[in-house]
Chains A and B, each alone.
Chain A
Amino acid sequence: MGLLSIYFKSNFLGLLKCLNKLNWFIVFFSLINLSVCIYEDQIGKFDWRQTYVGRIKFSQFDTVSTAKKIIVATEENVLAALNLKTGQVVWRHVFESASTGNIQLLAITDKVVTVSGANPYLVRGWDSATGVLQWEWSLSLENDDQSDFSEWWVQNDLLIHMLPVFGSHLEVSMYHLATGQNRGYTSKLPASWARDSSCVVTPPYYTCISGEKGSQQLISLDVTSQAVQLITRPLSEYVNLETYDGGIRAVDGSSVIPAFTIEDKKIIMIKNNKFEMLTTNVGDASASVALIDIANGPVVLQAWMDDNQGFTMTAHSVATGAELPELRVTDRNLKLPDPEVSSAVCTKSNREQLVCRVLFNCGDDSMHLMQQGGRVLWSREEALANVVAIEFVELPVSDLDAAIESEFDQKEAAKMYSSIWAAFSRRLQTQFTQLQTLIQSIQRGEGLEEDAPSALVRDYFGLHKIIVLVTDVGKIFGMDNLSGAILWQYYEADLDTEGVVVFTRRTARHPPNDAYLTVVGKQEGTGNGLIISLNPITGTLIGERLLKLDVQLLQCTLLHRPDNEKLHALILLDKEENVQVLPRSAAPLVENMFMYVAERNTARVQGYALVFNGQEVEAIRTWLIQLGGAAGARIVRALAKPPAERVHSPGRVLPDRSVLYKYVNPNLVLFVTEGPDPVHKDVVVATCVDAASGAIVAAQVHRRARALPHAVHTEHYLAYLYYNDKHRRTEIATLELYEGKTRWLPAGAAFSSLSSERAPSVERQAFILSAAPTAAATTVTERSLTDKHVLLALSSGAVVEVPWVYLEARRGGSGEEGVVLPAHAPELPLSGDARLNYNRTLARPAAIHAAPAGLESTSLVLTTGLDLFYTRVAPSKTFDLLKDDFDYYLITVVLAGLIVATYSTKYFASRKMLKQAWK
């Protein structure tokens, strides 16, 4: 029977076939089988979530309540409270991402007060301990055009709104903070001197530099006072007008003292309705200046970063101009690019010592809380709230494993060991070292167990990887996927990450060569190409290091064939359609290489053939397609297959045991375009183009619909999302391409786009999605044996795993006898069980990235957005791994018991035999 089952295993489907006659049974069966929920004790075992708030816009120390917090309002429209000791988020409110959620003001009275939105504005009061909304009122301005210039502040329980009308007057309104009650009128203060570019608000003063060049005046006005009282001084009193360039800047931080800097040199304070220039000058042109109130009187705090000197912070007394040495910090090793004092608080401790805490907001979007003495209490890498590109990188094997592997490497072995004896001694050596490490690990295990950091070596199942994240601000992170800890970071201020691409050019599988990762982006300002090559394990620059090109890049790709050092060359196509190959020596390897460049706004796709002509690689234009039909179409998404994709099964088995062969064209690219239509408003067109030959393989039109930039494309199937305007719902359309019941090419033959003349048959279907998706991806496994599931991130904060059978275009279509597919239902089921992040809601999920693990059953998934969420999924369950709760103890006891029972019965049996023999 055992033999039988081996031979007939391939027809296990037959078993399913007979089962599926009972349709309801199959549905039930599939529900059990496909649910991926976890047990309560598994929470956080395979997954982690990191919550971020984004780059700080406003921050305030909450010194009112007992639990010390920092309240921050961010560029991402998030209001959050951070624990002062650890920096963790205590509570967080995520507002709308559009301008309606923009936070205009953060003030702390007894409540946390925010003004958010853009005409109408919402004024809200929050409880600072719990973050619960206490009151809310809205305010809309009549003058909508000017409302962008609104300034807000809170003074004596009044919300003050000031709207400058440049060249004319200032409109000032005051509202009761909690109720929104107006004082009944809006005062209009004449201010013909107000200019757009040269005015600052330092509550309650409004200060401008006005007048002709050479005779500028510094004019300031207390907008809250009853009487209009202008303070006017000629600017020449403070700066040399010959060199003055118009710079005026309010001081950073939530200062209570109205002050500003002129030309980033002089600090001027308004005191008793008078300008008062401080004796302290600004220490560095890039310095951030803040005025804070401490027990001894106000203090000027300055902080800047110098490439040579490192980080510097100074503090001077406003009254005397003397430096406070206890607050001075100079640290050569501290790297805080463009530090800005976001807020600072100083208190006197019991022993008359100054205890200061300064929150820095840096150019790389990180925030750091620093104590006096320069100790950083905690840092938050808020750049991670805006991840633009992700790459999972394999870890290298340990030195010992590498030695063993090299022993079995055929070429290497042939080189090194000429005789059997050499090989034998080598074997003994490696085993001796293995023994040594074993003994060492035992000894270490006895000593300090928790102290040893997990070494960055590949684990047995290949589950441990490094995630390289490229963020919007230009900071690149290397993150441990198991713990979520940041291993390294690299900040390149010059990197413009729009359309950034990341390539793993060499994995860590090729010792002694290091892993090699390249980030291709643009330079800030010029838009020229910028290439950063680094070792993803350590985060150090290698190879081409930081390469600034002097030309704009059209596209780039990776050469499929590695060179002698196992490095995949980078092929760059620049604006003049010249091709660069990095490294240059790999140019002769370019063969059968094609590229396509799609223009987003014109929906034109240009195909190129890359040809090596003996000296260099040329790009030859081969085809050109105008997509989307009518003029005015634009490409919303262009999606090719993952470059190193494997397709395990060349066909699908039908219920009658015949095979429907898949059309697996590796050069297929899906373009989703959207364009206006005279009859149907908007039309979404999905086109499958063979990027090598330019042939259109399949196309699909949706009328009265708007395209969404979410699509998946693997093997022979594609799915993309669009918004159906007619029915006002999101739908997911799937396409499956098949060759038919006979295959076009023999098994194992090479597929060539240029020589294939037949068109595949296309199966289509669309399903209703009862949620608003924000990202889509498919699971990826090492050998593609495992089922593929589609992962959808929803705006509700869930990441849902949808088995492909539910998206199957053939589902319920032909009504064949005994189909192993669930019955057709127009709506796609998104069950709660299928939710990967159970109750951990994600704020604004923006992208999903899946990568294979070493285990065939498992796929690693990272969701980015405001939060980062990492988990692993097993679409076909963990068939190659023992269950997480496998009872090793029980099985050991049972085994031991059985062995004992066997031997004892043997003994008793022999005794009985002996007795019988004597009878």
Chain B
Amino acid sequence: MSQVKSNKKFKWALDFNPKTRTQTTELPSPPGYSQSTNASYTESSRDTDSNLLLIKKLWDVALGPLKQVPMNLFIMYMAGNSISIFPIMMVGMLIVRPVKALFATQSTFKMVEGTQATGQKFVYFIGNIVNILLALYKCQSMGLLPTHSSDWLAFEEPQTRVEHIGGGLSLI
């Protein structure tokens, strides 16, 4: 029974008295170690995993502005159309942030190379543009945009005259 047992090589059994010394040079792998599966698995999984994560993360960044849109809409709704310091500050933030973000596009997507980079940049760009448009719409509804002719009235050239007159009540 023991013979049978000893012959049978168990995974978790260590045989300190091997019958043959032929295999001395090659040490058995530690228990629980599977060389073939492990090597192939770790190498491939690390590579693909980090890439996927990065892409995911970058999509998050790229979609960020678009995700802000509902929040901005809410802020805009809450701020109201009156002109006072807080609404003006909010509108200022609304307009300044996407513009800043647009300028910082390059640095945000600096390390990205790959198939999806253009798409991400594009989405990011679109998102910011949407935000800017929203802010502009807000400015428009607050009446801050010089879109009427009345806003440019002060810069208009004054009219000149052709005829000149003189006279008055008769001096006689």
- B165 and A594 contacting across the interface, CB-CB below 8 Å: yes
B131 to chain A, nearest CB (A): 17
Residues of A within 8 A of B165 (CB): 557, 593-596, 640, 666-667, 669, 691-692
Surface stretch bound by A, among B35-43, B50-58, B61-69, B151-159: B151-159
- B158 and A650 contacting across the interface, CB-CB below 8 Å: yes
- A666 and B161 contacting across the interface, CB-CB below 8 Å: yes
Residues of B within 8 A of A529 (CB): 171
Flag whether A681 is at the interface (Cβ < 8 A).
no
- B158 and A598 contacting across the interface, CB-CB below 8 Å: no
Report Cα–Cα, A560/B160, bound state, in Å: 13
Flag whether A698 is at the interface (Cβ < 8 A).
no
Please pick, from A597, A657, A666, A745, the residue contacting B167 in the complex, using a CB distance under 8 A: A597
B103 to chain A, nearest CB (A): 15
- A11 and B146 contacting across the interface, CB-CB below 8 Å: yes
Q: Can you spell out 15 A-B residue pairs with CB atoms less than 8 angstroms apart?
A: A14-B143, A555-B170, A593-B165, A594-B165, A600-B169, A646-B158, A647-B159, A648-B158, A650-B158, A657-B151, A659-B148, A666-B164, A666-B165, A667-B164, A748-B160
- B153 and A649 contacting across the interface, CB-CB below 8 Å: yes
- A554 and B172 contacting across the interface, CB-CB below 8 Å: yes
Flag whether B17 is at the interface (Cβ < 8 A).
no
Residues of A within 8 A of B166 (CB): 555-558, 571, 593-595, 643
Residues of B within 8 A of A666 (CB): 161, 163-165
- B163 and A747 contacting across the interface, CB-CB below 8 Å: no
**Total A-B Cβ pairs within 8 A:** 157
Residues of A within 8 A of B145 (CB): 8, 11
Most chain A beta-carbon contacts within 10 A, residue among B152, B160, B162: B162
Residues of A within 8 A of B168 (CB): 501, 555, 596-598, 638, 640
Flag whether A592 is at the interface (Cβ < 8 A).
yes
- A597 and B170 contacting across the interface, CB-CB below 8 Å: yes
Given contacts A10-B154, A597-B167, contact A748 B159 (CB under 8 A): yes
Given contacts A14-B83, A650-B153, A659-B153, contact A522 B171 (CB under 8 A): yes
Please pick, from A593, A657, A747, the residue contacting B156 in the complex, using a CB distance under 8 A: A747
- B146 and A691 contacting across the interface, CB-CB below 8 Å: no
Flag whether B70 is at the interface (Cβ < 8 A).
no
A525 to chain B, nearest CB (A): 14
Given contacts A4-B92, A14-B83, A750-B162, contact A657 B148 (CB under 8 A): yes
Please pick, from A17, A554, A749, A754, the residue contacting B170 in the complex, using a CB distance under 8 A: A554
- Please tell me the size bucket of the interface on A: 35 or more
- A750 and B150 contacting across the interface, CB-CB below 8 Å: no
Residue of chain B at shortest CB distance from A646: B158
Please pick, from A8, A560, A653, A669, the residue contacting B164 in the complex, using a CB distance under 8 A: A560
A352 to chain B, nearest CB (A): 60
A603 to chain B, nearest CB (A): 11
User: A513-566: which residues lie under 8 A (CB-CB) from chain B?
Assistant: 522, 527, 529, 552-558, 560
- Please tell me the size bucket of the interface on B: 20 to 34
Flag whether B149 is at the interface (Cβ < 8 A).
yes
Report Cα–Cα, A880/B70, bound state, in Å: 46
B160 to chain A, nearest CB (A): 5
A159-197: CB near B (< 8 Å → 1, else 0) gives: 000000000000000000000000000000000000000
- A554 and B171 contacting across the interface, CB-CB below 8 Å: yes
Residues of B within 8 A of A367 (CB): none
- B151 and A752 contacting across the interface, CB-CB below 8 Å: no
Q: A555-B166, A556-B166 are in contact. List 8 more A-B contacts (CB 8 A).
A: A7-B146, A8-B146, A643-B166, A648-B154, A650-B158, A667-B164, A691-B165, A692-B163
Flag whether B112 is at the interface (Cβ < 8 A).
no
User: A188-232: which residues lie under 8 A (CB-CB) from chain B?
Assistant: none
Residues of A within 8 A of B75 (CB): none
- B167 and A557 contacting across the interface, CB-CB below 8 Å: yes
Flag whether B144 is at the interface (Cβ < 8 A).
yes
Flag whether B105 is at the interface (Cβ < 8 A).
no
Flag whether A658 is at the interface (Cβ < 8 A).
yes
Residues of A within 8 A of B156 (CB): 650, 747-748
Residue of chain A at shortest CB distance from B92: A1
Residue of chain A at shortest CB distance from B164: A560
Residue of chain A at shortest CB distance from B89: A1
Please pick, from B158, B160, B169, the residue contacting A638 in the complex, using a CB distance under 8 A: B169
- A592 and B164 contacting across the interface, CB-CB below 8 Å: yes
Residues of B within 8 A of A10 (CB): 146, 151-152, 154
Residue of chain A at shortest CB distance from B91: A4
A530 to chain B, nearest CB (A): 11
Report Cα–Cα, A445/B82, bound state, in Å: 57
User: A107-160: which residues lie under 8 A (CB-CB) from chain B?
Assistant: none
B167 to chain A, nearest CB (A): 4
Flag whether A635 is at the interface (Cβ < 8 A).
yes
Residue of chain B at shortest CB distance from A657: B148
Residue of chain B at shortest CB distance from A604: B170
Report Cα–Cα, A7/B152, bound state, in Å: 11
Please pick, from A18, A593, A595, A657, the residue contacting B150 in the complex, using a CB distance under 8 A: A657
A99 to chain B, nearest CB (A): 26
Report Cα–Cα, A598/B19, bound state, in Å: 144
A758 to chain B, nearest CB (A): 15
Please pick, from A657, A748, A750, A753, the residue contacting B143 in the complex, using a CB distance under 8 A: A657
Flag whether A651 is at the interface (Cβ < 8 A).
yes
Most chain A beta-carbon contacts within 10 A, residue among B153, B157, B167, B169: B167
Flag whether A453 is at the interface (Cβ < 8 A).
no
- A594 and B164 contacting across the interface, CB-CB below 8 Å: yes
Flag whether A575 is at the interface (Cβ < 8 A).
yes
Report Cα–Cα, A649/B152, bound state, in Å: 10
Given contacts A11-B144, A17-B143, A658-B149, contact A649 B154 (CB under 8 A): yes
- B159 and A8 contacting across the interface, CB-CB below 8 Å: no
Report Cα–Cα, A557/B161, bound state, in Å: 17
- A749 and B153 contacting across the interface, CB-CB below 8 Å: no
